[in-house]
Amino acid sequence: MHSPIDAIWDWSYEIEQKRLDELYVKAKRDQWNSDVAIDWTTPIDPGGKILDPERMAFLKLAFFQKLDPRQLERFNAHYSAWILSQLLHGEQGALMIAGELVAAVPDYEAKLYVASQAMDEARHVEVFSRYIRGLDKIYPVQPTLKDILRDIVETPHWQAKMVGMQVILEGLALGTFINVRAATGCALLRSLLGYVARDEARHVAFGNIYLTTEIARMHADDRVAVEDFACETTRKTVAMRRGNEGMAGFDQVLVDSDLDPGDFIASMHAEVAAGFKLSATPGNVHTLKSIIMPGIVRAGLVSDRVRPRYDAAGIKLFADTRVLEEFEDSGEVRA
Ligand SMILES: [Fe+2]
Ligand SMILES: [Fe+2]
């Protein structure tokens, strides 16, 4: 992938945006060493419930209900490894984008902050790859996710990179980490997600705070490009989370679990036709509603020009920023 970015110097070394500096202070204070903070001797139980119920809701399909406990255990391990692998690939993307942003952002305090984020992401890549290898194996990147990551790498606008990474993908990751951490039966995963989610809350806070001032400063022509990027990336992300696109690659999970993908598809279609529905889990953080959309709307990226495209994609323009502001004010996740 080719990233067209300019390196911008800030020769002033002045801190102009105090809230960004406060996040940098927190980032320095909350650095952790994965070799020390996490007890890697804690066993991974592949049969244990690794993910949250929403992500496992389709286990209620008759196709899975008729499996014996050993088959179900195998499927659980492979499926969890597949989902966690996507998070791992997203972490590698975040690592590289944070590195790019060190050069691309124009403000001194923002450069210091994203440098700390790059270190955070290196740790996340390290702990997720280590955990997944202990559980099973690392699965290939899901095609829609790879497509989104390519868009973020290849856009020439650093503000678009920040919308794609800190606002959309990290907003999605933060919600996922909080929800999986609350539900997982694996103590090792819960422990590492506690550390990762705290870092992620800072990253989301940084992206949203900085973007809100920087979008207002942009030239109108450039802002149009970032508006389009935000809309298209949100659309792809929602499709990945809700639609058939998100299931690309799932075949391999079934094959690895000695299950027939054809049987699965046929059985799922029959049950969906008979009224089977995947429902959201009460108490879960609703990522799109509480984190991603309020950030995009508040940053001024939903103009009258792009609004109809969100409507056409069935994406509601949630604008309540209370949950997002909690992360921004504290820069952390409440225990
Ligand atoms: Fe991360
Ligand atoms: Fe992050």
pLDDT digits (tens, 9 = 90+) for 226-282: 999 999 999 999 998 877 788 889 999 999 999 999 999 898 888 888 888 766 666
* Predicted pLDDT of residue 335: 44
Find, among 199, 180, 207, 171, the residue nearest to 333 by Cα: 199
Q: Nearest bound ligand to CA 202?
A: 2
CA dist 62 and 83 (Å) reads: 22
Q: How far is the CA of 248 from the centre of ligand 2 (A)?
A: 24
Distance from the CA of 87 to the center of ligand 1, in angstroms? 9
Q: How far does the centroid of ligand 2 lie from the alpha carbon of residue 194, in Å?
A: 13
CB 145 within 8 A of CB 237: no
Q: Which residues of the chain fall below pLDDT 70?
A: 278-283, 334-335
Distance in Å, CA 165 to ligand 2 centroid: 8
Ligand 1 centroid, distance to 197 Cα (angstroms): 8
CA 135 to ligand 1 centroid distance, Å: 20
- Rounded CA-CA distance 98/292 in Å is 19
Whole-number Å distance, alpha carbon 79 to ligand 2 midpoint, is 23
How remote is the CA of residue 114 from the centroid of ligand 1, in Å?
Answer: 12
**What pLDDT is stored for residue 281 in this prediction?**
63
**CA–centroid distance, residue 108 to ligand 2 (Å):** 20
The pLDDT score that the predictor gives to residue 57 is 80
CB 4 within 8 A of CB 154: yes
Distance of alpha carbon 198 from alpha carbon 125, whole angstroms: 15
Strands (E) across the chain are located at none
Position 230 scores a pLDDT of 98
Quick check: 117 and 98 in contact, CB under 8 A?
yes
Ligand 2 geometric centre to CA of 197 (Å): 8
Ligand 1 centroid–CA 20 distance in Å is 18
Q: How far is the CA of 127 from the centre of ligand 2 (A)?
A: 13
CA 30–ligand 1 middle distance (angstroms): 14
Whole-number Å distance, alpha carbon 242 to ligand 2 midpoint, is: 22
Looking at residue 32, the DSSP 8-state letter turns out to be -
**Around ion ligand 1, which residues have CB less than 5 A away?**
91, 94, 121, 124
**Which of 230, 221, 212, 220 has the alpha carbon at shortest distance from 165?**
230
